[in-house]
Amino acid sequence: MPSRSLGLHDMRLKGLALFLLLLIAPGSAASAADEPDLIFRRSTVFKWLSPNDKLATYGLDDPEVEGVACHFTVPERGGFKGWIGVAEEVSDISLACRQTGPIHFKDKLEQGDDMFRKRRSLFFKKMQIVRGCDAKRNVLVYMVYSDRLIEGSPKNSTSTVPIMPWGTADLNVQKCGDFFTQ
């Protein structure tokens, strides 16, 4: 009888492991294709026997708007929990977006659509960069924030990108209001 009980216990553990893998894998597989480029990291808190706390600066291009790049800086927890990837990251994130070439919209966009999303804890917190259009000023507006499943976070940062001609060949500037729906 003990071997049957042990077999049922093993099956439950395997089922739980499969459930957790399926729960975590879709989010990580989707964000893996859109991973930002690490520019640099800087230690902020020294830890004796484990990794230091750091600030990390990343860069990414807007996948739907050619000619726009954003850089954001996030704190990364060190210590043993940070080392194995279970530490909950804080919500302090800064953002700067700039025009890096002629701006061309690839498709119609929704106000407040996600441009980038990444988990900031194992289950409950994620960071999002969303974009919108200030049609009156012909300016793209980017906002970064993090949210939690249970309680939100009011910490956020905003950056704007005025749509300007790029060089002498780009005199026909697109209007963001023509590409965003309300």
Task: List the chain domain ranges.
Answer: 1-33, 35-181
Is a pLDDT exceeding 80 seen at residue 50? Answer: no
Is 15 or 134 the better-scoring residue by pLDDT?
A: 134
Is a pLDDT exceeding 80 seen at residue 66? Answer: yes
Q: What is the pLDDT of residue 40?
A: 93
Q: How far apart are CA 140 and CA 177, in angstroms?
A: 10
80-108 per-position pLDDT tens digit: 555 555 555 566 789 999 999 999 999 99
Average pLDDT over residues 149-163: 79
Running DSSP on this structure, what letter comes out for residue 121? S
Q: How far apart are CA 179 and CA 5, in angstroms?
A: 61
Average pLDDT over residues 121-147: 85
Residue 45 burial (C-beta neighbours within 10 Å; 0-12, 13-18, 19+): exposed
Q: How far apart are CA 180 and CA 116, in angstroms?
A: 17
pLDDT band of 153, cuts 50, 70, 90: low
Place of tokens 């000619």: 67
Is a pLDDT exceeding 70 seen at residue 180? Answer: yes
Q: How far apart are CA 158 and CA 13, in angstroms?
A: 45
Of 16-25, 45-54, 56-65, 113-122, minimum mean pLDDT range: 16-25
Average pLDDT over residues 142-162: 80
Q: What is the pLDDT of residue 24?
A: 41
Average pLDDT over residues 36-41: 92
Q: What is the pLDDT of residue 101?
A: 92
Is 111 or 154 the better-scoring residue by pLDDT?
A: 111
Q: DSSP secondary structure string, 5-30?
A: HHHHHHHHHHHHHHHHHHHHHHHHHH
Mean pLDDT over each residue of the chain, to the nearest integer: 75
Ranges 26-30, 56-60, 85-89, 126-130, most confident? 56-60
Residues 168, 178: contact at Cβ < 8 Å? no
Q: Can you count the helices (H) and strands (E) in the chain? A: 2, 10
Q: How far is CA 104 from CA 24, 37, 157, 165, 172, in A?
A: 35, 22, 24, 11, 11
